[in-house]
Chain A
Amino acid sequence: EAGVAQSPRYKIIEKRQSVAFWCNPISGHATLYWYQQILGQGPKLLIQFQNNGVVDDSQLPKDRFSAERLKGVDSTLKIQPAKLEDSAVYLCASSLEPGVANTGELFFGEGSRLTVL
């Protein structure tokens, strides 16, 4: 089974530039998450989608971050304009509909490492 795919793996930009990350979840997974992981910290949820609807974006800095999942499959996370503190690994994850057997099991991608100079 193919895992969660993310691209690009690495990106270096200057502050105030823009960047976009792409995620393709595991086929059939209705729920998609974007997490931000700053060096030395655990992953922090930015946004959660259920199919193409937003479930939770309470921690997304909406003045500069945006995300979409137009057809309920792939998703794009954009940062514009980037700040130095946005340097982090951006992790995409997906999960099945909840059930006792799979509750809490998120499948993660390899992540996209962003460096803002």
Chain B
Amino acid sequence: AQRVTQPEKLLSVFKGAPVELKCNYSYSGSPELFWYVQYSRQRLQLLLRHISRESIKGFTADLNKGETSFHLKKPFAQEEDSAMYYCALMRTGRRALTFGSGTRLQVQP
């Protein structure tokens, strides 16, 4: 069975500091990985997906199959980045996502 682990429940940084939200997964196949974000009083929404190799709002994430990780990074945190971040995995041939437990990012001024 697949599993997504986000070891930190809360990550607190100061504005301008680098951010790294950790995500590890276990899955025997070839997964697709995603980061979802939920800002205060907003819906859960897609932030980025590994297959697109995109940078969204300054965030990037690289899939490391050797370490089975998909950490989310941003070089300089902004206050508006404060939110809940969920790492999610999609199994080959399926569409439903398996989510991690989430990390709350708090960016202090």
- Nearest CB of chain B from residue A44's CB, rounded to whole Å: 7
Contacting B96 at CB < 8 Å: which of A45, A91, A107, A109? A45
Q: Which of B81-105 contact A (CB under 8 A)?
A: 86, 88, 90, 94-102
Q: Is the CB of A3 within 8 A of B100?
A: no
Q: Which residues of A contact B102 (CB under 8 A)?
A: 41-42
Chain B residues positioned under 8 Å from A95 (CB to CB): 95
Number of A-B contacts (CB under 8 A): 57
**A82 to B96, alpha carbons, bound, how many Å?**
25
Segment of A14-22, A62-70, A72-80, A97-105 in the binding face:
A97-105
**CA of A99 to CA of B99 in the docked complex: distance in angstroms?**
21
Shortest C-beta distance, A30 to chain B (Å), equals: 10
Q: Is B49 an interface residue (CB 8 A)?
A: yes
Is B108 engaged at the interface, CB distance under 8 Å to the other chain? no
Bound-complex Cα distance A3 to B44 (A)? 12
Once A103-B51, A103-B90, A104-B49 are accepted as A-B contacts, the answer to whether A45 and B43 lie under 8 Å apart by CB is no
